[in-house]
Amino acid sequence: MKAFILSFFFLTPFSLLAQTPEEYPVHPDAQVKEGVPKGEILKFTFENSKIFPGTWREYWVYVPAQYDASKPACVYVNQDGVQWQAPAVFDNLIHKKEMPVTIGVFVMHGRVKATTPDAALDRFNRSFEYDGLGDNYARFLLEELLPEVETKKTSDGRTIKLSKSGNDRAIGGSSSGAVCAFTAAWERPDAFSRVFSAIGTYVGLRGADRYHTLLRKYEPKPLRIFLQDGANDNNIYAGDWWMANQTIERSLIFSGYEVQHVWGEGAHNGKHGTAIFPDAMRYLWKDWPQPVKTGATKNPMLNDILLPNEGWQLVGEGYKFSEGPTSNAKGEVFFDDGPAGNIWKVSLDGKLTSFAKNSGNVYGQAFGPDGKMYAAAMNAKKVMVYSADGKAVKLADGFAGNDIVVANNGNTYVTNPSSDANVKSKVWLIRPNGEKVEVDNGLHFANGITLSPDQTLLYVADDHSHWVYSYSILPDGTLANKQKYYWIHAPDNFDDAGSDGLKTDRDGRLYVATRLGIQVCDQAGRVNAILPTPNGDVSNICFGGENFDILYATCGDKVYKRKVKVKGANAWDKPNKPTAPRL
């Protein structure tokens, strides 16, 4: 009982803000029943975190009587310690075979203890760990706490073995613990596929108010969610919990997720959540071990781009840092392993062969209308031109080029970022006669570069911001009308979007390689869709294949491809005017 009281201590300040008389009956499956085998509850502390350094925390492990140490058990992780009379609920539902044999891990938030507790407070990490977006807490569970749990034994000597499959793992919590549970599953659906959220804090404490928008833009993930909230929940400086939970539910439904809710009249406390917890567990574990499926989104852009049941496929792996993907007129794709200095070719049949070596740390490549490949060799401070036999000649030098695009008229544009924060980036124009002209300066870190399908606009990514700039191209190739035009989402654990490679499709959409994945914008500058990559990395992109309907992505040590409905716009090709956007 002591653990149960502790678990609600940190909800008290919010719960005082909106109190109404509440009576919820005790669920029959939350009561101790005669003849039902009782699980064991073990208590431990953990203070060796590297992800949340210096923190100390308590955690409890529930092991059901039916647990067989010869095989891994399913897992339920709960934030804020033991809640919901969960041990009794698990005893009853496991006994009735209404949920699988499940080990519960009930963990408190961390705190950094004061060196002089009589004179100073501990640093309470609850909001930092629970309310923020990003993968820190998921990593804490997967890399630190759950491996620690597996070092423990039950009182009768059984070793604890936890399933590593996301289909066998659920996670839940209350208030900030609920949004923390959702964030862990959102960041790592391969590790947690079932989420219980009671009075969830989907408001602006540390950015969770963005979820209702991100849910609608991301390609759906295989998650099943149970939501609970009440009409008298908090309504404070950070937002309205009651409205936020309903908004999250609408976003989940729009995006095709499996979601069920129970709404009530309750305030910011655990009364209603405790009353419905057994039914929530039944819903989350229904049909197990059948996997939770990915649903169908109503996002028009995602549906316009993606083919059903067509996911990412591995092209190659083992690279030091893959970059600079580009395609020739046949649809063959070339990319560089920058630090290694090797340029690779992907044939139409998917075969990988070496195209050139000792390229000089190329990060950007682009084919021109002459069928030759232009490459920005950063370390060599040269722009090289490769013929079909892999031999190169110098086009220009004197600056460290990063990314490159060659227009149908032969004009070449190259970004030239600086590693010195006090020196602003430049954009260079190299005319077909070799003349070099500085056409822009002032971006923090000019990175990816591409053209609109009609080749009247130049787009440049500022890696150290959340902007992609748009410029008008004048008849002489110089630039005008510079504008911070495309607003790009940035992750919570970085100060910028990390926008890198850029490409457009023939309909005018802009594809931006970012820290969050490939963000896809409409012509009006708005991110409509976000496509994560399998390993979470992406530096650059291009369209290849015979019909230019295969999206290639360089992702650190790997390269992936994915067949799509749309066709890429090739800068070396004849310009085409796309349909005007809806404003």
For the segment 237-292, what is each residue's pLDDT rounded down to a tens digit?
999 999 999 999 999 999 999 999 999 999 999 999 999 999 999 999 999 999 99
H or E element that contains 457: strand 457-462
Percent over 90 (pLDDT), the chain = 91
Taken in order 437, 441, 445, 448, the sign of the CA dihedral is negative
Pairing state between β 510-514 and 517-521: antiparallel
Query: Side by side, which strands form the sheet with 558-563?
Result: 313-317, 558-563, 550-555, 540-544
Structure-token pair, residue 344: 């690779």
Structure-token pair, residue 95: 């006994």
Q: Is the pLDDT of residue 13 over 80?
A: no
Contact criterion met (CB below 8 Å) for 10 and 125: no
pLDDT in tens, 499-527: 999 999 999 999 999 999 999 999 999 99
The reported pLDDT for the residue numbered 157 is 97
> Which residues lie below 8 Å from residue 480, measured CB to CB, with a gap of 6+?
471, 472, 474
φ/ψ (deg, to 5) at 551: -85, 120
Q: Is the pLDDT of residue 47 over 70?
A: yes
Q: Is the pLDDT of residue 16 over 70?
A: no
Q: Is the pLDDT of residue 182 over 90?
A: yes
Structure-token pair, residue 367: 């084919």
The reported pLDDT for the residue numbered 419 is 80
Q: Is the pLDDT of residue 451 over 80?
A: yes
The reported pLDDT for the residue numbered 243 is 98
φ/ψ (deg, to 5) at 273: -60, -40
**pTM for the structure as a whole:** 0.93
The reported pLDDT for the residue numbered 583 is 80
* Interval 394-422 mean pLDDT: 94
Contact criterion met (CB below 8 Å) for 301 and 546: no
* Interval 120-144 mean pLDDT: 96
The reported pLDDT for the residue numbered 5 is 36
Contact criterion met (CB below 8 Å) for 104 and 90: yes
| Rounded Cα gap, residues 402 and 399, in angstroms | 10
Q: Is the pLDDT of residue 10 over 50?
A: no
The reported pLDDT for the residue numbered 464 is 94
Structure-token pair, residue 459: 């787009």
| Rounded Cα gap, residues 114 and 108, in angstroms | 18
Least confident of 8-22, 91-105, 417-431: 8-22
Query: Side by side, which strands form the sheet with 457-462?
Result: 446-451, 457-462, 467-473, 479-487
| Rounded Cα gap, residues 57 and 111, in angstroms | 7
**Single-letter amino acid, residue 18:** A
Say whether 251 sits in a helix, a strand or coil: helix
Kindly list the distances between the CA atom of residue 196 and the CA atoms of 28, 175, 191, 236, 424, in Å, as whole numbers in the listed order. 19, 11, 15, 23, 48
* Interval 537-542 mean pLDDT: 97
The reported pLDDT for the residue numbered 1 is 36
> Which residues lie below 8 Å from residue 16, measured CB to CB, with a gap of 6+?
none
The reported pLDDT for the residue numbered 17 is 41
The reported pLDDT for the residue numbered 329 is 97
- Where do we find the tokens 């590297």? 50
**Single-letter amino acid, residue 59:** Y
Confidence class of residue 21 from pLDDT cuts 50, 70 and 90? low
Q: Is the pLDDT of residue 220 over 60?
A: yes
pLDDT, mean over the chain: 94
φ/ψ (deg, to 5) at 396: -155, 160
| Rounded Cα gap, residues 265 and 581, in angstroms | 44
